[in-house]
Structure 1
Amino acid sequence: MQAPQTTVDPTEIAKFEAMAAEWWDPDGKFKPLHMLNPCRLDYITAQIAAEFDRDTAGPAPFAGLRLLDIGCGGGLLSEPMARLGAEVVGADAAERNIPVARIHAEQSGLKIDYRHTTAEALAEAGEQFDVVLNMEVVEHVADPLAYLTATRQLLKPGGLQVCSTINRNPKSWAMAIVGAEVVMRWLPRGTHEWSKFITPDELYDLLRRAGLEPVDRKGFVFNPITWGWSLSARDLSVNYVTASVKPAG
C-alpha cells in the first residue's frame, strides 16, 4: 500500500524535538504556551460545549466525545480535555514529544492515547473524531491546505475543529518574533518564520477550501500590564483562534 502523503516539514519538527524535555516547565522554552493555555482552554471548552450541548459545570462534561489533539507536544491541552471526560488521542510528528507526554499523563493519573504520527497517516487509517484541536500547528507545515484537508477528513460529519495560529503583519513580526524570541527570549531564535504566518481571512479561505465551514474567530490578546492573555472579538492582530465545523450532509 502506498504510504500517505505528509505535510510535515522536517526542519520544523527538529526545532520542537530539541525542546521536548521542557514542555512541562512553566518557566522554560514553552513559557508562552503555559501563559496562553488558560485562555486557549476557555475558548476550546466554550466551543465544544456549545457545539455538542454540554454543561461544563457538570462532572465529565465531554464524556462520549472522541477528541484529537494534533501537534499535542507535551500534552498541555490533551490533559485538561481528558480531565473533562473526553477520549483523547494526542498526536505529534516530533517523536521525542511523545514519551514526555506519556510519562506526565501517567504521573497525573490520566489515560491518553499518545502517538508519534501525522494527520495524514491518521486520515489514511480512517480515524474519526468529534473534535480536532489544531493549535499553533498550521504555521509550521509545508502545505497548509493539504494539512487542513487531512484534519477535515479526521472529523465526523458535524464535528468541530478549533484551529489557532499567528497573523502575518508588522505587529506580529514585532511581537511573535522580535519580542518572544529576541527580547524576552521565551523561544529559541528561528522557532517561527514570519512568512509562514497566515492572516485570518487567509485561514478562513483555507478552511473553506478544505471542506470546513468557519463559524467563529477570536483574538488572543496579551496585556503587558497584567501580564496575561484574554479573548477579543475585535483584535486578531497577532494570535488568533478559529472554530469550524464539518458539514453534516
Structure 2
Amino acid sequence: MSASPSSNASASPGSGADAAPPGPGSVLDSEVAKFAAMADTWWDPDGPFKPLHTFNPKRLAFIRDQAAARFGRDINQRAPFAGLTLLDIGCGGGLLCEPMARLGFQVTGIDATEKNIRIASIHAEGSGLPIDYRVGTAEALVAEGRRFDVVLTMEVVEHVADVDSFLHSCATLVAPGGLLVGATLNRTLKSLALAKIGAEYVLRWLPKGTHEWRKFVRPADFAAGLRAGGLSVEALVGMTFNPLSGEWSLSRDLDVNYLVAARRAA
C-alpha cells in the first residue's frame, strides 16, 4: 500500500519465462499479519486504506488506458474488456477487482491473507459482481500453468520476501500478447521522507510500520525483474499529489510512487 504527502509525490510502480528462478516464496508472514489486522477497514474511505481510496481513480484510469491501447478496445463502450481475463495479485479487499469487473474483465483476485479474501468476497457478492477470489500466491498459479490477459501487481512488491522471484512469477502469468501493470514505491531519500516518515509518522495517513523503506523497489530493478520474465516495459510514470486540491495526477516524477506497464509479445 503506497501513498505520500507531498506535491512532488507520485502515487499508487528475457529468457526463461517458463521456469521460475530458485528462491523463497513471495509471502512474508509478518506482512500477512499486518494486513489481516486492518482487513475489516478495506472499504472504509476514511480508514487505514484512505490513501488507496484517494488515488484509486488515477491508477484505475492508467490500467484502463493501458489495456485499451494494448487490446484495441473502446473505453466508451459498455464492458469494453469483455472476453479478457484479469488477475489482481495481492488484491486486498477488492478495491481494484470490482471496478475491473464492471469494465467487463473476467476477474480473479488472489491474496495470501484469508481475511482479506473473505472481506472481498462478501463485498463483491453484495455488489452483484462475479469475481473469483481465492487465498493464494502468484507462485501457486504459475505451478498450475495459469495465464491471464492482464496481470496487476499494485502496491505489493514492496511487501514480498524475494522481489526478483516474485516479479518473475508475475511476468510468467501474463499470456502471450498480454499486459502487466504494477505499482510500488521508489527507494530514494525523498520516499523515506514523504512515504515513510511523512505518511506514517507526521500526517498519519498510514498505520506506523506499514512500510519498510529498505524494501522499496527502484524502477530499474522493477523493470529488470519483468524483463527477466520475458516482458518488455512500455511505460513508467509517476503520480503527483497537490496538497492544495488534495488530488493526484500522472507525472514524470518517479522519486516516490510510480506505475509500470509491460507486455508479452504475442
Give the TM-score normalised by structure 1.
Answer: 0.95
CA distance in 2: counterparts of 1:182 and 1:30, whole angstroms: 15
Deviation track 1:173-211 (CA, whole Å, cap 9, x = no partner) reads 111111111112121111101001111122112221222
Q: Alignment identity in percent? A: 59
Amino acid at match of 1:173: L
Aligned residues: 244
Within 5 Å, which residues of 2 pair with 1:92-241?
Answer: 92-232=111-251, 234-241=252-259
> What's the CA shift for 1:212?
1.4
What residue in structure 2 maps to residue 12 of structure 1?
Answer: 31
Question: Bigger relative contact order, structure 1 or 2, given CA contacts below 8 A and separation 6+?
Answer: 2
The alpha carbon displacement at 1:159 in A equals 0.9
- Corresponding position of 1:55: 74
Deviation for aligned residue 1:119: 0.3
* Contact kept in structure 2, 1:8 and 1:93, CA below 8 Å: yes
Work out the CA distance in 1 between the residues paired with 2:83 and 2:106.
7
User: Runs of 4 or more off by more than 3 Å in structure 1?
Assistant: none
Query: Could you tell me whether the CA contact under 8 Å between 1:69 and 1:134 is conserved in 2?
Result: yes
Q: Map 1:22-61 onto structure 2 (within 5 A).
A: 22-61=41-80
SS of structure 2 residue aligned to 1:96: helix
Q: Write the distance in 1 (CA, Å) between the matches of 2:265 and 2:163.
A: 20
Query: Which range is displaced more, 180-189 or 38-47?
Result: 180-189
Asked if 1:245 corresponds to 2:263, the answer is: yes
RMSD over equivalenced CA pairs, Å:
1.2
The separation in 2 between residues aligned to 1:139 and 1:21, in whole angstroms, is 22
**CA contact 1:105–1:112 (8 Å) conserved in 2:** yes
CA contact (8 A) 1:217 1:243 kept: yes
Consecutive unaligned residues in structure 1, runs of 5 or more: none
Aligned-residue offset at 1:104: 0.6
Distance in 2, matches of 1:152 and 1:199, equals 17
Deviation string, structure 1 residues 84-141 (Cα, Å, up to 9, x no partner): 0100001001111011001111111111000000000011111110000110001111
Report the Cα distance in structure 2 between the residues aligned to 1:228 and 1:94, rounded to whole angstroms. 30
Q: CA–CA distance in 2 between the matches of 1:95 and 1:184?
A: 30
Q: Does the CA-based 8 Å contact 1:5-1:120 persist in structure 2?
A: no
* 1:84 to 2:84 alignment: no
Instruction: Name the CA distance, whole Å, in 2 between partners of 1:247 and 1:53.
Output: 15
For residues 13 and 229 of structure 1, the distance between their equivalents in structure 2, rounded to whole angstroms, comes to 28
Distance of 1:98 and 1:229 partners within structure 2? 28
Give me the TM-score of the superposition, normalised by structure 2: 0.89
* Other structure's SS at 1:150 match: helix
Distance 2:24 2:131 in 1: 26
Write the deviation string for residues 2-27 of structure 1: whole angstroms up to 9, x where unpaired. Answer: xx962111111111111000000000
- CA–CA distance in 2 between the matches of 1:37 and 1:224? 17
Q: How many Å separate the matches in 1 of 2:194 and 2:127?
A: 34
Q: Which amino acid aligns with 2:259?
A: V
Distance 1:224 1:74 in 2: 27
